[in-house]
């Protein structure tokens, strides 16, 4: 039963009635809207030029399947009026970062790109960082990965000997002796010398490495003329390193501006955004992100763009964005709702509206939908320009349009590749399940239930079960078991207890029977499971065991009674499927065991104190939050719980006498 089906129909109708009333009160102003589910959790944040039209559009007209899923969970909404579209843009970005709504496009912190930074210090340093601050440092990038950034920094360290140590040492270090540092710790390095190196590094990272190569070549030839072959070889190596790090570019623009070019594609509820980073007119890096989206495709795309530049001072000179899809055109999963024509503002003359290269627009008058799209594009462009102080273009034709189209083609290709890989994996998984049944002589295997036990020298023994249906995990069917009857590390008896408890429940509640049971172990575990199933419960379900090698990796498949090895090839998809199943059930069991062990450690500390029973223990943990906070409390802090000074002193004495108090 789904969450929606479990909801009280009366409460749902009351919530929808409140929404209908609030829709009639929405203002004709820009702002942000906040959608909430029945628990009051924020699930989506959006921005709008006209709040009344945008919010109403979610509850009228047709939508894509993804948007329908979002709308089906909305039980309330709030809105915040702003004075301009720019304020709405910034507010939306901040609200998303604060609340992390599940249906919004989220730019994860761990996906931030690496930058090369020249620190703002009397003796500057060169470093690779993923955090960009407004600290007067100079940032260059982004780079597609840390390796690319580190390789570039390593090259610059050879060319320009800036300070290397974070803190000044007392004497010169190895970097000075190998010529990669001027040793400001011991020698007086002038500000002019540092500024010259900073300017050279900036010129290099801004795309001027060709000029630097020419200068190095001139110096190399001069050194050779002077018969200084060692210096000439060193300079030659620098030139080769530049060629190795700075790969040949495939695209050059006529001008030499720094710009970021965006393109996106959508299909089957997913969006791919491709960014081309062009510096000094050359394409230096590319990056693609794929994620599910739930709202209007263009608005969610713009939300992604705002998060890319949020709190990021390393901005280009120009940003190129794709045009907004015109409603009624052939665009996958385009949003059906649109703003009325009465709210479309008049278009002013603009080079981006007419064409990036100054070409005049076609004489044919635009349709109502096209005019509406142009109006929204204009609002987006002006809002981003006001916020970022960067020129934003939405080119319509010419070379700049070709750059955007290339980014869109790359985004489309990334999306197509994702779906091809998914289809290939599905075909492989389906085939693996079919072949596994043939290897085991069982015919079709649809449902597999796998078990694993976990304990440390018999303490806190637990077991876990995972379920795979048609080769894919069904996580809502996973189960955890605290072992009740087994004392000590007895894996066979633990297996008996858990198999007995699981399939007694299956019989009692008439649940779906598995086609195959997988246990972690060999002959002993298989025999224990079969004994309970056949002799106690009268069930005849095939049981196989997965035996691990010395490195704790899946090594062999066994089945039967007595169990025999199945000669399954180690490089087959069937073996890979079994390995995934064993890894998943082991992960699930270990996680449960750690949770149980942590709880038991907390319980044992409090329960060992005279006068503390289960009721008081729960009250203490609820009031203070953890054992650590109880330990840090004062005697008077226990008074609200009805605990006197004497018992409070004994509690603190007992806990503070511990060598270490683990947190709950």
pLDDT of residue 321: 94
The model's confidence at residue 42, banded by pLDDT at 50, 70 and 90, is: very high
Instruction: Tell me whether residue 332 is exposed, middle or buried, using C-beta atoms within 10 angstroms of its C-beta: 0 to 12, 13 to 18, 19 or more.
Output: middle
The whole-number average pLDDT for the span 614-635 is: 80
pLDDT of residue 208: 63
Distance of CA 547 to the CA centre of its chain: 34
Residues 18 and 88 in one domain: yes
The pLDDT tens digits of the residues spanning 352-385 come to: 443 444 444 454 566 777 888 888 888 888 888 8
CB 528 within 8 A of CB 563: no
| C-alpha span between 70 and 269 (Å, rounded) | 12
pLDDT of residue 315: 80
Give every CB contact of residue 338 below 8 A, 6+ residues apart in sequence. Answer: 57, 327, 369, 372
Instruction: Look at residue 76 and tell me if it is in a domain.
Output: yes
Instruction: Look at residue 104 and tell me if it is in a domain.
Output: no
pLDDT of residue 598: 56
Q: State in Å, rounded, how far the first CA of the chain is from the last one.
A: 33
Look over the chain and give the mean of its residue pLDDT values, rounded to a whole number.
79
| C-alpha span between 598 and 555 (Å, rounded) | 32
Residues 512 and 384 in one domain: no
Instruction: Look at residue 575 and tell me if it is in a domain.
Output: yes
Q: Which residue has the higher pLDDT, 88 or 424?
A: 88
Instruction: Look at residue 633 and tell me if it is in a domain.
Output: yes
Residue 426 phi/psi, 5° resolution?
-65, -40
Residues 177 and 92 in one domain: no
The whole-number average pLDDT for the span 580-595 is: 81
Least confident of 276-290, 325-339, 396-410: 325-339
pLDDT exceeds 80 at position 400: yes
Residues 154 and 292 in one domain: no
CB 483 within 8 A of CB 461: yes
pLDDT exceeds 80 at position 605: no
Angle, nearest 10°, between helix axes 297-309 and 368-388?
Answer: 10
Three-state DSSP class for 431?
Answer: helix
Instruction: Look at residue 346 and tell me if it is in a domain.
Output: no
| C-alpha span between 510 and 504 (Å, rounded) | 10
Residues 131 and 233 in one domain: yes
Residues 503 and 585 in one domain: yes
Highest mean pLDDT among 264-268, 427-431, 487-491: 264-268
Domain that holds residue 546: 428-596
Residues 507 and 435 in one domain: yes
Residue 135's region, left for phi above 0, alpha for psi from -120 to 50, else beta, is: alpha
Q: Which residue has the higher pLDDT, 230 or 497?
A: 497
How many residues in the chain?
Answer: 664
The whole-number average pLDDT for the span 227-242 is: 75
The whole-number average pLDDT for the span 274-281 is: 81
Distances (CA, A) of 20 to 10, 40, 58, 59, 257: 15, 17, 12, 9, 50
- CATH code of the domain covering residue 471: 3.30.420.340
The whole-number average pLDDT for the span 144-173 is: 78
On whether the pTM is more than 0.85, the answer is: no
Three-state DSSP class for 456?
Answer: strand
pLDDT of residue 11: 82
pLDDT of residue 174: 82
Instruction: Look at residue 28 and tell me if it is in a domain.
Output: yes
pLDDT of residue 353: 41
Three-state DSSP class for 18?
Answer: helix
Residue 643 phi/psi, 5° resolution?
-100, 125
Residues 508 and 524 in one domain: yes
The model's confidence at residue 616, banded by pLDDT at 50, 70 and 90, is: confident
Q: Which residue has the higher pLDDT, 240 or 477?
A: 477
Instruction: Look at residue 362 and tell me if it is in a domain.
Output: no
Residues 528 and 504 in one domain: yes
**What is the arrangement of strands in the sheet containing 31-36, beginning at the earlier edge strand?**
42-48, 31-36, 76-81
Residues 164 and 243 in one domain: yes
pLDDT exceeds 50 at position 37: yes
The pLDDT tens digits of the residues spanning 206-221 come to: 766 677 777 778 888 8
Least confident of 121-135, 350-364, 574-588: 350-364
The rounded percent of the chain whose pLDDT value lies above 70 is: 81
From 425, 459, 490, the end of a domain falls on 425
- CATH code of the domain covering residue 267: 3.30.420.10
The rounded percent of the chain whose pLDDT value lies above 90 is: 14
Domain count, the chain: 5
Residues 503 and 644 in one domain: no
Highest mean pLDDT among 30-39, 545-554, 579-588, 644-653: 30-39
pLDDT exceeds 80 at position 338: no
Instruction: Look at residue 345 and tell me if it is in a domain.
Output: no
- CATH code of the domain covering residue 30: 3.40.1440.10
pLDDT of residue 486: 75
From 554, 572, 596, the end of a domain falls on 596
Nearest to 308 by CA among 289, 323, 293: 289
Highest mean pLDDT among 122-136, 233-247, 464-478, 543-557: 464-478
pLDDT of residue 360: 44
Residues 421 and 445 in one domain: no
Give every CB contact of residue 162 below 8 A, 6+ residues apart in sequence. Answer: 118, 123, 124, 125, 126, 181, 182, 194, 197, 198, 201
């Amino acid at each position: 039963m789904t969450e929606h089906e479990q909801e009280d129909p009366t409460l749902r109708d009351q919530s929808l009635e409140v929404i209908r009333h609030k829709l009639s009160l929405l203002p004709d102003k820009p702002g942000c809207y906040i959608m909430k589910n029945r628990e009051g959790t924020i699930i989506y944040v959006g921005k709008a030029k006209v709040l009344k039209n945008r919010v109403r559009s979610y509850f009228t007209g047709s939508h894509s399947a993804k948007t329908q899923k979002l709308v089906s969970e909305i039980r309330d909404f709030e809105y915040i009026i702003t004075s301009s579209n720019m304020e709405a843009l910034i507010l939306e970005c901040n609200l998303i970062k604060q609340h992390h709504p599940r249906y919004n496009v989220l730019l994860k912190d761990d996906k931030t790109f690496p930058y090369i930074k020249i620190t703002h210090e009397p003796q500057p340093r060169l470093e690779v960082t993923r955090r960009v601050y407004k600290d007067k440092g100079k940032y260059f990038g982004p780079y597609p990965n840390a390796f690319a950034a580190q390789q570039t920094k390593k090259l610059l360290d050879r060319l320009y000997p800036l300070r290397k140590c974070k803190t000044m040492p007392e004497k010169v270090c190895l970097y000075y002796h190998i010529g990669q540092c001027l040793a400001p710790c011991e020698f007086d390095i002038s500000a002019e010398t540092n500024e010259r190196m900073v300017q050279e590094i900036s010129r290099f990272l801004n795309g001027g490495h060709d000029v630097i190569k020419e200068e190095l070549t001139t110096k190399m030839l001069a050194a050779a003329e002077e018969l200084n072959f060692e210096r000439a070889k060193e300079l030659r190596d620098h030139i080769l390193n530049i060629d190795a790090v700075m790969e040949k570019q495939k695209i050059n623009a006529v001008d030499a501006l720094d710009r970021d070019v965006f393109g996106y594609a959508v299909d089957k509820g997913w969006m791919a955004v491709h960014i081309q980073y062009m510096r000094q007119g050359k394409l230096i890096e590319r990056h693609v992100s794929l994620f599910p989206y739930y709202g209007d495709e263009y608005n969610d795309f713009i939300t992604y763009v705002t998060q890319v530049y949020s709190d990021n001072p390393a901005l280009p000179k120009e940003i190129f964005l794709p045009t907004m899809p015109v409603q009624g055109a052939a665009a996958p999963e385009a949003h059906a709702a649109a703003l009325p024509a009465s709210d479309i503002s008049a278009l002013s003359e603009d080079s981006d509206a007419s064409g990036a290269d100054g070409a005049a627009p076609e004489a044919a008058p635009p349709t109502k939908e096209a005019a509406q799209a142009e109006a929204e594009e204009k609002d987006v462009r002006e809002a981003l320009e006001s916020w970022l102080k960067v020129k934003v273009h939405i080119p319509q034709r010419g070379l700049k349009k070709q750059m955007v189209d290339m980014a869109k083609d790359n985004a489309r290709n990334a999306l197509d590749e994702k779906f091809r890989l998914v289809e290939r994996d599905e075909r492989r998984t389906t085939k693996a399940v079919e072949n596994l049944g043939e290897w085991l002589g069982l015919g079709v295997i649809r449902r597999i239930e796998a078990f694993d036990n976990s304990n440390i020298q018999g303490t806190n023994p637990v077991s876990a079960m995972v379920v795979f249906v048609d080769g894919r995990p069904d996580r809502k069917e996973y189960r955890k078991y605290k072992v009740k009857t087994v004392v000590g590390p007895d894996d066979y008896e633990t297996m008996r207890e858990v198999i007995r408890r699981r399939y007694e429940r299956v019989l009692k509640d008439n649940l779906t029977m598995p086609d195959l049971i997988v246990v972690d172990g060999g002959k002993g575990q298989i025999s224990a499971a079969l004994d309970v199933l056949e002799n106690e419960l009268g069930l005849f379900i095939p049981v196989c065991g997965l035996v691990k090698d010395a490195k704790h990796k899946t090594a062999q498949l066994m089945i039967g009674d007595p169990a025999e090895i199945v000669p399954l090839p180690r490089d087959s998809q069937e073996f890979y499927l079994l390995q995934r199943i064993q890894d998943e059930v082991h992960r699930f069991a270990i996680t449960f065991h750690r949770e149980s062990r942590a709880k038991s450690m907390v319980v044992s500390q409090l329960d060992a104190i005279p006068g503390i029973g289960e009721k008081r223990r729960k009250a203490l943990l609820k009031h203070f939050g953890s054992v650590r906070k109880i330990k840090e409390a004062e005697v008077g802090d226990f008074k609200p719980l009805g605990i006197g000074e004497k018992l409070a002193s004994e509690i603190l004495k007992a806990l503070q006498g511990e060598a270490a108090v683990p947190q709950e």
